[in-house]
């Protein structure tokens, strides 16, 4: 009877199985390592891209902040310019109003009345000067009262003075522009008619 020794075959087969298992194990480890390396590489690339995007966003943010600062400065400058223009308009309006007032007074003042102070307070005007007589001052007040530009003419005071040896009357008046609510005349104030009837006041 022939006997076949199977032990060497079994040992060879077992060695092959062990080698296959070891090879499979190392193959799995190698694949896992490659996958991990690939994932790490992809994550590093994404992190680098995110850092670059973050830097770009920060730069854009800084540029926007500068632009916003410039816009705020422009708004401040514009508001300042508008305030100055408004002030200039008010000054222009006041200048033209004063010129109109001076022209109106110059057109009605008698030849024997002289003014040395004209104070323009916007709605109210104060005048002071000298006249040859009470009649001259009264004539000036009447002309002011009859003017279409003025109203509520009031005599503040009138005094007799001597200038270069000549008797004169120093007076002060207050009046309002047309359009302003007139102030009631004080009962003690002197009207132009009373001055004409009492030349020695």
Q: Summarize pLDDT for 72-114 with one digit per residue, the tens.
A: 777 778 888 888 877 766 655 555 567 788 888 888 899 999 9
For the cut 90, the answer to whether the pLDDT of residue 61 exceeds it is: no
Tokens at 129, concatenated: 């000067």
Percent of the chain, pLDDT > 90?
21
Q: How far is 23 from 20, CA to CA, in rounded Å?
A: 5
Tokens of 194: 């009373």
More confident residue, 3 or 132: 132
User: Is the pLDDT at 129 greater than 90, yes or no?
Assistant: yes
Do the beta carbons of residue 125 and residue 176 sit within 8 Å? yes
Q: Which domains does the chain have, with CATH numbers?
A: 109-197 (3.30.1360.100)
16: its two tokens: 């092959």
Predicted structure pTM score? 0.46
pLDDT digits (tens, 9 = 90+) for 19-45: 888 888 888 888 888 888 888 888 888
The DSSP code for 179 is T
Q: In 3D, which of 184, 190, 175, 182 has the Cα closest to residue 138?
A: 190
């Amino acid at each position: 009877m022939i006997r076949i020794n199977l032990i060497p075959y079994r040992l060879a087969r077992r060695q092959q199985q062990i080698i296959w298992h070891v090879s499979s194990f190392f193959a799995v480890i190698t694949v896992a390592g490659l996958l991990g390396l690939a994932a790490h590489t992809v994550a590093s690339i994404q992190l680098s891209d995110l850092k670059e995007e973050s830097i770009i966003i920060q730069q854009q943010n800084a540029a926007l902040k500068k632009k916003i600062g410039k816009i705020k400065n422009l708004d401040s400058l514009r508001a300042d310019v508008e305030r100055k223009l408004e002030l200039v308009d008010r000054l222009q309006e006041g200048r033209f109003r004063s010129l109109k007032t001076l022209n109106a007074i110059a057109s009605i003042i008698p030849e024997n009345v002289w003014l040395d102070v004209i104070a323009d307070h916007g709605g109210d005007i104060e005048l002071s000067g000298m006249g040859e007589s009470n009649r001259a001052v009264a004539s000036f007040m009447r002309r002011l009262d009859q003017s279409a530009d003025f109203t509520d003419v009031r005599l503040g005071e009138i005094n007799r003075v001597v200038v270069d040896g000549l008797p004169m009357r120093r007076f002060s008046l207050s009046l309002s522009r047309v359009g302003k609510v007139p102030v009631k005349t004080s009962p003690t104030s002197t009207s132009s008619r009373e001055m004409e009837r009492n030349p020695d006041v």
